[in-house]
Amino acid sequence: MLELVDVHTYYGSSHVLQGVDLTVGAGEVVALLGRNGAGKTTTLRSITALTRPRSGRVVLAGRDITSRPPHVIARAGVAYVPSGRRVFSQLTVAQNLALAARGCPGRAGPWTIRRVYDTFPALAELSARRAGFLSGGEQQMLKLGRALLAQPDVLLLDEPTEGLSPTMVDALGGWLNLLRKAALSVLLTEQSAVFALRHADRGYILEKGRVRAHGPARRMIDSRELHDFLGVGRGGDPPDGSATEGRR
């Protein structure tokens, strides 16, 4: 469904991605892991052309989309959910969703506002509330709902658990399982390697803009590579009891 081939991306003279290769299959959840500054967010921005690669290819369902502008990539079926509180804060939940439903004209798909409310019942109860007054977890639900209304084939999630309570993190894991059942391809970056790998089919580890390890999630969660590149102890727990991988 999605493939990156030898992607090199720069910020000015800074060579951030140095030949990244990765794939996300149809209906597959893939975790992209790495420490702060490894290039995780830059990888997502390279896919969506928000930061355009200098060389290499981004291929979606067999079509090279590397040179396409961001809005064309979105309409081709890629939805990007950035980290942080990226909602229209002065609009209500219902208004945020209504805008999203009109965002990709011509794309047909199964997601309607009613289905979003069925998937995230709390949003239905909050439909008249301004988005700026939602909690972090509620805003994450709203961002996911907006992205799904674009009828994507591929969903890019950047640090979805950032700032969420443990209860909401558990809920997010359930949502990821629902997306897999809906045959949606998902590429997510995460601060918590263990959480990401528990809900992914495969994983990649980035270090200094290069893929250093990849493989099935069940193998990687107890791998030497997770310890060597992310500082996560064998068995999945960080040596100091907290995740050490960073936000980008």
- pLDDT, one tens digit per residue, over 138-192 is 898 899 999 999 999 999 999 888 877 888 888 888 888 888 888 889 999 987 8
Helix (H) or strand (E) holding 29: strand 29-34
Give the model confidence (pLDDT) of 80-99 as tens digits: 998 877 889 999 999 999 99
pTM of the model: 0.86
Helices and strands in the chain: count of H runs, count of E runs: 10, 10
Average pLDDT estimate for 53-77: 94
Q: Is the dihedral of CA 87, 88, 94, 97 positive or negative?
A: negative
Q: 33 pLDDT exceeds 90?
A: yes
Average pLDDT estimate for 29-56: 95
Indicate the average pLDDT of the chain: 88
Structural domains of the chain ordered from first start: 1-77+153-248 (3.40.50.300), 88-151 (no CATH)
Question: How do strand 29-34 and strand 185-189 relate by DSSP bridges?
Answer: parallel
**Angle CA(61)–CA(219)–CA(46) in degrees, nearest 5?**
35
Q: 247 pLDDT exceeds 70?
A: no
Q: 210-214: list long-range contacts, CB under 8 Å, 24+ apart.
A: 210/18, 210/19, 210/20, 211/20, 211/21, 211/22, 214/22
Q: Are 152 and 79 in contact (CB under 8 A)?
A: yes
Q: 26 pLDDT exceeds 70?
A: yes
The single-letter DSSP state of residue 191 is S
229 vs 70, which has greater pLDDT?
Answer: 70
> Which of 107-121, 132-146, 203-217 shows the highest mean pLDDT?
203-217
Q: Can you give the pLDDT at residue 209? A: 95
Question: How do strand 202-207 and strand 210-216 relate by DSSP bridges?
Answer: antiparallel
Confidence tier at 233 by pLDDT (50, 70, 90): low
Average pLDDT estimate for 46-66: 96
C-alpha dihedral (19, 184, 171, 234), degrees to nearest 10: -40
Q: Is the dihedral of CA 248, 144, 226, 205 positive or negative?
A: negative
Give the model confidence (pLDDT) of 40-53 as tens digits: 999 999 999 999 99
Token pair 């950032």 is found at 162
Among 245, 47, 43, 49, smallest CA distance to 162 is for 245
Average pLDDT estimate for 122-143: 92
Q: Can you give the pLDDT at residue 192? A: 85
Q: 13 pLDDT exceeds 90?
A: yes
Cα separation, 117 vs 120, in Å, equals 5
Q: Can you give the pLDDT at residue 237? A: 46
Give the model confidence (pLDDT) of 193-209 as tens digits: 888 999 999 999 999 99
Q: 58 pLDDT exceeds 60?
A: yes
Among 175, 234, 163, 245, smallest CA distance to 204 is for 245
Q: Can you give the pLDDT at residue 223? A: 87
Average pLDDT estimate for 25-31: 93
**Angle CA(12)–CA(15)–CA(18) in degrees, nearest 5?**
150
Backbone angles phi, psi at 3, to 5 degrees: -140, 135
